[in-house]
Amino acid sequence: MNNPLDLKGKVAIVSGGASGIGLATGKLLAEYGAKVVLLDVNQQSGENAVMEIINEGNFAIFKKCNVTNNEECKTTIESIEREFGRIDILFNNAGVTVRKTVVDLTEAEWDFVLDVGLKGTYLLSKYTIPVMARGGGGSIVNTGSGWGLKGGDKAAAYCAVKGGIVNLTRAMAIDHGGQNIRVNSINPGDTDTAMLRSEGEQLGFKSEIDKFLVDSAKGRPLERLGEPLDIAKAVLFLCSDLSKWITGTALVVDGGGIA
């Protein structure tokens, strides 16, 4: 029996790939045979991430790309098609957050959060989908959030982005199913990443990050924070043949946090 998780011969792009969920996912996709292209704005972290994957005996390259910039997204995708001849997987994972209410947010902060998360998803998808279609199809996974399905406190821009991503995912699934392109969103709960720790600092827990992390896990049926690998495994499922008849769905991976 063929392994339905086998990604050999596939080319996978991971935005926000230099750390956290992006890096964990890049590592896992490479472990299952994909040629992984990590995108990030941080050159040094991106190159370090690629070396981690290569040192594990797998394939990865890094391309610096600001996902809010139309021309950078266009030329990055074009360069990947030239180099590999195909794109099979796109994990739109780049995102940022500013923990403020609409009253406290500046216009620049609002634009920053929406541009990285929502515009970045649109731009990379815009230029990747035609490449996927020429290759016979593929899988796109967009990073939403539990807070894309319900509200959260002091996270107005973030909730707007993630809610937008969840419904953009549905629209893309409808539009591109005929091209054999599946589009799903992954919706994590609190996951132990640098971004979550940054949220704790923004909320005044700089000297009590451990307490913030413990409190973030309270009330979940599985009684712990997520780890980046927890999310990566779900992305692998959505990119693999195990999910060949799944598109337009919002998969929640949160230890039961919004159950």
Angle between helices 194-202 and 209-217 (to 10 degrees): 110
Contact criterion met (CB below 8 Å) for 133 and 175: no
Whether 36 and 42 have beta carbons less than 8 Å apart is answered as no
Residue 134: count other Cβ atoms within 10 Å of its Cβ. Answer: 13
Give the residue carrying structure tokens 């926000």: 16
CB 205 within 8 A of CB 212: yes
Catalytic hit among 32, 122, 127, 158: 158
Active-site residue 158, yes or no? Answer: yes
Angle between helices 120-134 and 156-176 (to 10 degrees): 20
Residue 45 burial by Cβ neighbours in a 10 Å radius (0-12, 13-18, 19+):
middle
- Residues annotated as part of the active site: 158
